[in-house]
Amino acid sequence: MVPILEDERFRRRRLRRRDGNGDGEGQESAKEDDVRREIVECPDRARTRRFCPSQTCDSGSAVTEYSFFPGVKLGMKIVGENTTDFDEKNLKLISPRFFSLLPDEHDHSVNLLSPSLLSLHNDGHGIEKDTSLSKITSEAFSGRESDAWLNFIIEASGLSDSLTMMKVTLAFRIWKKDDAMVGKDGQPLYFTKNNVSTLFGEEEKAKVELFERLQSTFTPEQVLAMNTTGYVQMNEQQLDMVYGEGSSFNDTELRNRLRNVSAERVNDAIEKTIRGLAAETIRFETQRRRQVVLSPIVLGSIILDPAGASEPLVLSPALLTPVILSPAIFGCVILSPWSFVPVVLGPRLMSPVVLSPILFSPVILSPLVMDPLVLCPGVGAPFILSPLVLSPFILSPVAISPLILSPFALTPFIGIPHTLSPLILSPFVLSPIVYSPPYISAFVLTPRALSPIIESEGQHFTSILSPSWLS
């Protein structure tokens, strides 16, 4: 009975307005009533309006919605597709999947011209299951014929030719590298036995020949130890060859002392020396790296200063401090928030960032290698023209942090919920996305390979022209 009472109330108010009894407040109330009746009559349209803001003109004008999703929804309704819970699903447009490892999640996405073809599993349904490689080969061929067909696919795809080309290219690069290390007169720019004798005389040539003879006396066990540990203990004959009479390194006392040293004592001495260097009980002739601890950096700058950018930053927040033309190595950042710290032309190697929130700090033209980000939430931290390799993102929620023209490899995203952070023209490989749901995000022209998306459905996610392989 509620709808009947509501309709009667609406009719009486329209009569009052037509008779001229309503004032300005009545007109505003009438507009509210119209919207309320729209909710009663068409709750679907009201729910869509939350995500598709509308603009209302003068009284009585039509409501126009400016959004891409309502147009897609209308088109699907026209062709008879099911649009139930359309507003809660992700949209994939012209983003086919090839050789997928996991079945497509039809319950959480709307696929438009985005089929899953030639999948490597038997799950899924529809065209995904009908075109799977296992089903095609099992139905069309026997076991031997299937192997022959796969070999044909490899040959037809040019894989063998690509391998041959890779070998030729590698050989050419090695030749080019060796050729670059030759001077104008054809002499190599590295030491050989011939140019050592020319530059330093016969005495240095004798040392080179001594080590050539020593290397020729290595036993198979010594060769294995050299390749495994990087050092080997010499036997008595080899000690006599190096430290005996007639050698350039003649030292009878040292030869007798080394002759009584066992292999176990050699290993213990090396380990003791390494531990002593680490504990600084043994003098080390290099300058110890300086660390920045409990020293906030405000309104500074690091420009053309690789040493400064490579200093570890611990409990030292940075504010309004650009890093420009300053590569960093081993420059870890721990418990040091960054705010308005742009990194421009500053590649970073093995410089992890741990427990350091990032605020409005873009990374531009700065490749990252072995540079993980762990527990580092970020806002306004886009990566632009900054490739990533072996730089995982772990438990670091981000917002307004797109990746633009930044391909990455071996860089998994684990526990990275993100919003307003699309991937644009940033292909990636061997980089799974695990427990990282997107909210209002997209893949745009971002193909991926060997990078499955696991437990990361999210909401309002769109994939446009972003095919995937083995994902």
Average pLDDT over residues 230-242: 88
The region of weakest confidence among 199-203, 369-373, 445-449 is 199-203
List the structure tokens of 131: 């075109």
Counting residues of the chain whose pLDDT is more than 90, the rounded percentage is 32
Which one-letter amino acid corresponds to residue 228? T
Q: Which backbone phi and psi does 324 adopt, to 5 degrees?
A: -130, 130
Closest CA to 339 of 324, 322, 318: 318
Average pLDDT over residues 37-48: 47
- Highest mean pLDDT among 99-103, 174-178, 242-246, 372-376 belongs to 372-376
Please tell me the distance from the alpha carbon of residue 189 to that of residue 408, in angstroms, as a whole number. 37
Please tell me the distance from the alpha carbon of residue 339 to that of residue 379, in angstroms, as a whole number. 10
Q: Are 442 and 462 in contact (CB under 8 A)?
A: yes
The region of weakest confidence among 24-28, 112-116, 174-178 is 24-28
- The confidence band for 4, taking pLDDT boundaries of 50, 70 and 90, is very low
Average pLDDT over residues 59-74: 55
- Highest mean pLDDT among 134-138, 147-151, 396-400 belongs to 396-400
Q: Which residues contact 122 (CB under 8 A, 6 or more apart)?
A: 129, 132, 134, 135
Task: Convert the pLDDT of each residue in 261-273 to its tens digit.
Answer: 887 788 888 888 8
Residue 5 has pLDDT above 50, yes or no: no
